[in-house]
Structure formats: C-alpha cells, structure tokens
C-alpha cells in the first residue's frame, strides 16, 4: 500500500529513461477495495520520462530540482529545461503517460498501474507493468503505446500453501538476439 516513485532506469547515448511507478494514485477504499486517489501528489506517476543530458551535466553536477509546475508542464506534453545554478542544464520530456489504474471487480474498485522496467530498441521502448501484468510497446517518437503481452495468473503448485493461482508481475525486461525477454516476479 505504500507509494512508489522511480522504479527503473535505462540509458541510450546521453538520454536516461526513467520509469515512474504508481506513486499515490490509488488509496485503500471501503471493504478491502482500492480506489482512485482524488489528489495524487504528482501527475507524472505511471509514466516514463526522458532526461537528456548535456556533456557537462553528464560528467558532474550539483543536482537539479523538478518543481510542481515543471511536473504539470511535462504531464501536459511540454518539455522542461532545468538548470542547477552551476551552469549545468538538462532537458526532460514525457515519453509516455500510461493509465494510473483500471476498473476491476466490484464497482469503484481499481487495480493500480505500476511501470517497472524498460528497454529501448530502435524507435521503440518495451515497458513492463507489474501492477497490470502487461508488457507495452511504446513508439518513442509519438508516445503511442499498445499492449504487447498480457500475462495471465500462474497456477500454484498442487498442495502448495496459498491461493490456487498467483499474479505474474512482470518486472524485468531485456532485449537479446531479436527477442524481448520478460522476467516475472510471480507475486508470492
């Protein structure tokens, strides 16, 4: 039930991609349900950001701060350029803004989204979503995304303690020899 922030990073050239987790987009509801948070602390949860570093900022920096207005600008599709006062600059843009949650089960109950890891391949990014048991394919140029895979629940072993099945929970992703490889946490 705790909020989460950045979950995963990957780098290509001088661009760092950061998967931002579920944050506080959902909260406990009545009777064991999960409901949307009417006032999440950021509009950037369940997204991927691209941080473009200059050569100077790549070597050493004294840090940067992202204001609430910067977050709103990014969530609206704008770019933000930050300076740390020491002459270093970096540019940030929203790559993709995924759904924060989806309806599930009883009316009002939701399941949280939780982007966890990503890998960049050519003009595409593959993003795991441990909360929704999905793998997305994202077009880096447009930010458009689609489900590439949806992972079903995994049957528990016969006579094993616990429920009859467990969540798949895709958390890791890699690319090798033309294949996208996904690791599952198999939510114990």
Greater pLDDT, 184 or 1: 184
Q: How confident is the model at residue 88 (pLDDT cuts 50, 70, 90)?
A: confident
Position 60 pLDDT exceeds 70: no
Calpha distance 13→115 (Å, rounded)? 22
- Against a cut of 0.85, is the pTM above it? yes
Within 10 angstroms of residue 11's Cβ, the number of other Cβ atoms is 13
Mean pLDDT of the chain: 91
Position 20 pLDDT exceeds 90: yes
pLDDT tens, 118-165?
999 999 999 999 999 999 999 999 999 999 999 999 998 888 888 888
């Amino acid at each position: 039930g705790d909020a989460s922030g950045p979950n995963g990073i990957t780098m290509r050239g001088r661009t760092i991609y950061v998967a931002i987790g579920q944050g506080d987009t959902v909260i406990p509801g009545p009777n064991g349900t999960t409901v949307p948070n009417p006032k999440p602390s950021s509009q950037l949860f369940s997204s991927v950001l691209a941080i473009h570093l200059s050569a100077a900022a790549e070597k050493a920096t004294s840090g940067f701060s992202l204001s609430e207005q910067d977050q709103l600008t990014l969530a609206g599709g704008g770019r933000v350029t930050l300076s740390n006062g020491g002459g270093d600059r970096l540019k940030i843009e929203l790559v993709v803004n995924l759904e924060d949650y989806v309806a599930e089960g009883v009316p009002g109950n939701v399941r949280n989204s939780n982007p966890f890891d990503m890998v960049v391949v050519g003009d595409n990014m593959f993003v795991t979503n441990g909360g929704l048991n999905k793998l997305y394919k994202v077009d880096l140029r447009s930010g458009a995304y689609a489900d590439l895979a949806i992972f079903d629940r995994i049957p528990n072993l016969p006579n094993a303690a616990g429920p009859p099945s467990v969540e798949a929970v895709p958390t890791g992703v890699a690319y090798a020899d033309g294949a996208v490889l996904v690791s599952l946490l198999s939510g114990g």
